[in-house]
Amino acid sequence: MLTRRRFIAISAAIAPSLALAEPRLHVKTGIALGARVTLRLDHPEAARLAELAMQEIQRLERVFSLYLPDSALSTLNRDSRLDAPPFELLECLAIAGAVHTASGGRFDPTVQPLWLAEARARETGRPLGEAERAVARRLIDWTAVTRSTGEIRLRPGMSLTLNGVAQGYIADQVATLLARHGLTRALIDTGEMVALPDGSWPVSLASGGAVDLRGRALATSSPLGMTFGGDGRSSHILDPRSGFPVAPRWQAVSISAPRAAVADALSTAACLSPDRAGIEAMCRAFTGAAIEAAELA
């Protein structure tokens, strides 16, 4: 089974001459939540700081991973309750809740039971049955998620996925860590990108356009970037209202914002929007968020 519903459709266009002209530019790669991570750091101690960043990513995987059985999120999904939840999980859920509201419920982390049911059915070579879909849909209910500093609770049978926001959140946390250690020029790419404020990073988009990223974050989502069973038709992004994979109205949507978690969630929600006006309305709910590209399929 494919482990991600996100499509990484952006890449840093770093010219070879730039690397030659700036020998302190240090590049480090790794993995976070099943996606490739690339750090580009400009600092005399870049190698040491890159290792610190990778350690932070590993720490955050133990919060957000759906595939580590003892992660905070896996524990919550298994037990329908998590006592003394990590601050990072609470903050990420708060961002998810804000995008849920701004999107009119299109962005909903409680879609995970439906996602699992769809994936398991496709693994057996059959479509998800109507009765199975109805059972899974009854478990989609963001209002049933209660959270406080003391505990997070789910209704029994519910589960969450933060695949549409956690990678951006991890990029934000890494950027904060690096800035705290004195970096002012770096590009963090966890599938969602964050550029620290010094310098400009040329980033190419799936649509063919480009963005000079400076002191901002960028995320791209594509409905058909990943599909169930690799059939090229059934998006891994599910519509929580219909219970079916989203219709591929958009080829790709790129959103920039001050925080990568916000850009990540908005770009995912944008794939469920019927028109550009809807995407613009969602962005207006978040200071500094903007559409960089919205290409129709």
Instruction: Return the CATH number at 107.
Output: 3.10.520.10
Residue 210, H or E segment = strand 210-213
Lowest mean pLDDT among 4-8, 162-166, 212-216, 244-248: 4-8
- Averaged pLDDT for residues 141-166: 97
Distance between the two ends of the chain, CA-based, in angstroms? 25
**Is 3 part of a structural domain of the chain?**
no
Domain contains 292: yes
Residue 154 lies in a domain: yes
Would you say residue 6 lies in a domain?
no
1: in domain: no
Provide the Cα torsion 134, 137, 143, 147; round to 10°. 120
pLDDT at 88: 98
> Which pLDDT belongs to residue 225?
80
**Separation between Cα atoms, residue 268 and residue 253, nearest integer Å:** 8
Residue 238, domain extent: 11-296
Whether residue 178 is predicted with pLDDT greater than 80 in this model: the reply is yes
Angle between helices 87-102 and 276-284 (to 10 degrees): 130
How many domains is the chain built from? 1
Encode pLDDT of 231-278 as tens digits.
Answer: 767 888 999 999 999 988 899 999 999 999 999 999 999 999 999 999
The reported pLDDT for the residue numbered 4 is 38
Phi first, then psi: give them for residue 122, nearest 5 degrees. -65, -30
Statement: residue 144 has pLDDT above 80: yes
Span 45-93, pLDDT tens digits: 999 999 999 999 999 999 999 999 999 999 999 999 999 999 999 999 9
| Within a domain: 5 | no
Which residues does residue 221 pair with via DSSP β-bridges, in sequence order?
Answer: 253
On whether the pTM is more than 0.85, the answer is yes
Q: CA Rg, the chain, in Å?
A: 19
Are residues 213 and 187 in contact, defined by beta-carbon separation less than 8 angstroms? Answer: yes
Residue 4 placed within a domain: no
**Which range, of 16-25, 95-104, 237-246, averages the lowest pLDDT?**
16-25
Residue 31 lies in a domain: yes
Report d(CA 87, CA 152) in Å as an integer.
Answer: 11
The pLDDT mean for the chain works out to 90
**How distant is the alpha carbon of residue 146 from its chain centre?**
22
pLDDT at 21: 45
